Structure 1
Amino acid sequence: MTKHVLVYLGDHTYKEGAVTRVLGDLKLPYTLLKDSDLSQKIGYLFSLDGFDKEEKDESLHIAYDLLLFRDLQDQDILAINALLDALDRKIQRKAMLTEHNKNWTFYELCLEIDKEHQYFDLMEQIKQILMSSKELIKENYTASSWEIYEKAFYHAYDCLKKESDFNTLRLAHQALVDAQQGLTKR
């Protein structure tokens, strides 16, 4: 088992000192990636057998940061998270090397992880609105505005339960926000 961390900081290069210190303190080998590495296959970046550097003239950049782990255990990842959080240098996007993604370019992985990040962030936003609904009192609002809100509430809740696709969630979130803003006091 060869533990290793690929670190891409994007526009967050100010985190470099904290990240390298944390990984060094945890004795975890790492590689700091540059924009020129984004077009390389993940298998190559981890020095896996059968992967060679590809010569590409692509100019790629991604604004957000991402950590990609090879053979790390849950306790390693939890330790990284805790130490980075303590230094106020949290990195939201993380992934593990898999048999499937080793053939992707790092850029492709970043895009996929960002989609997942946006999806779970949207789910969390909907959950927060649903939870804050406990504070609302039906009798304080007109029947018609409450009916619209209640319909949007249950639709959003159902989308969460079903783990609907991103576009369905996005529409449910917007309908819920609009319905909440449209509540009219009696």
Structure 2
Amino acid sequence: MKETLLIYTSSKQAKAEKIKTILQEQYEVRIIGDQETKQTIGYLFQLPGFTENTKDENTSFAFDMMILPIMKHEEINALSKQLRDQDLDIERKAMLTEHNRHWTLAALLKEVDEEHTYFMKRNELGYLIQDLMKIDPASLPEVEAVTFKKMLVDAYDVLQEQKSIVEDFQNHYNALQKHFGHHLKK
């Protein structure tokens, strides 16, 4: 018996169908949409003990997501590569867990999107810091060099801080870009 793999899409039905065709030999692929966002993950995976939610609470999200059965890291990488090679990658992925099987699809989509945004903003700030590190502070006016060093250290500290939030990354990114972005080579 093949394991179930869920693909949530709100608008890219053709892409989801292509993915289904590619993966149907390996998985029982189910394409789900906005009408299922009120259902629990356990119900969508057709796990025993989960029943349909009949409330009219559908939500729409502007991204696609794949929800995988329990798999090894290597299997996830191979699956991602297989889809990427066909130009069909889905950035947001989650795996069925004991914890999230009780969540609604909407709750899981929201959580994964927040995590995705967090890491995207964190990476943007990290890449900007790397680019700015190529600037020699000695090439800046003295006052600007002091500000430059302080802002870089502060931004780096935000990257290292476990409790940083998306707004922290965005604020430091914007400040660095505003004050020193013009020094970067295009």
Q: Report if TM-score (shorter chain) is over 0.5.
A: yes
Moved more, 148-157 or 108-117: 148-157
Structure 1 unaligned residues grouped into runs of 5+: none
2:71 is paired with a residue of what secondary structure?
A: coil
| Runs of 4+ with >3 A deviation | none
Aligned residue type for 2:15: K
Partner of 1:146 in structure 2? 145
Aligned residue type for 2:122: M
Partner of 2:121 in structure 1? 122
- Equivalenced residue count is 182
Residue 182 of structure 1: how far off its partner (Å): 6.9
2:94 is paired with a residue of what secondary structure?
A: strand
CA distance in 1, matches of 2:4, 2:82: 17
Question: Is the CA contact (8 Å cut-off) linking 2:70 and 2:97 kept in structure 1?
Answer: no
CA distance in 2, matches of 1:47, 1:182: 54
CA distance in 1, matches of 2:13, 2:141: 51
Aligned residue type for 2:45: F
2:174 matches 1:174: yes
Q: How do residues 98-137 of structure 1 correspond to structure 2 at under 5 angstroms?
A: 98-137=97-136
Partner of 1:24 in structure 2? 24
CA distance in 1, matches of 2:83, 2:53: 33
CA distance in 2, matches of 1:155, 1:22: 46
Partner of 2:32 in structure 1? 33
Aligned residue type for 1:149: F
Residue 160 of structure 1: how far off its partner (Å): 1.1
CA distance in 1, matches of 2:14, 2:148: 43
TM-score under structure 2 length normalisation: 0.88
1:18 is paired with a residue of what secondary structure?
A: helix
Moved more, 16-25 or 118-127: 16-25
Residue 127 of structure 1: how far off its partner (Å): 1.3
Change (3 A) 1:182 1:148: farther
Partner of 1:165 in structure 2? 165
Question: Is the CA contact (8 Å cut-off) linking 1:148 and 1:179 kept in structure 2?
Answer: no
Change (3 A) 1:3 1:71: farther
2:48 is paired with a residue of what secondary structure?
A: coil
Partner of 2:5 in structure 1? 5
Question: Is the CA contact (8 Å cut-off) linking 1:3 and 1:71 kept in structure 2?
Answer: no
Structure 2 unaligned residues grouped into runs of 5+: none
Change (3 A) 1:67 1:181: same
2:111 matches 1:93: no
Partner of 2:57 in structure 1? 58
| Identity between Structure 1 and Structure 2 (%) | 28
Deviation sequence 1:74-99 (CA, Å, 0-9, x none): 23211221111111111100011112
Change (3 A) 1:150 1:13: farther
Question: Is the CA contact (8 Å cut-off) linking 2:137 and 2:149 kept in structure 1?
Answer: no
Aligned residue type for 1:101: N
Aligned residue type for 1:147: V
Moved more, 165-174 or 149-158: 165-174
Deviation sequence 1:138-164 (CA, Å, 0-9, x none): 232222222222212111111111232
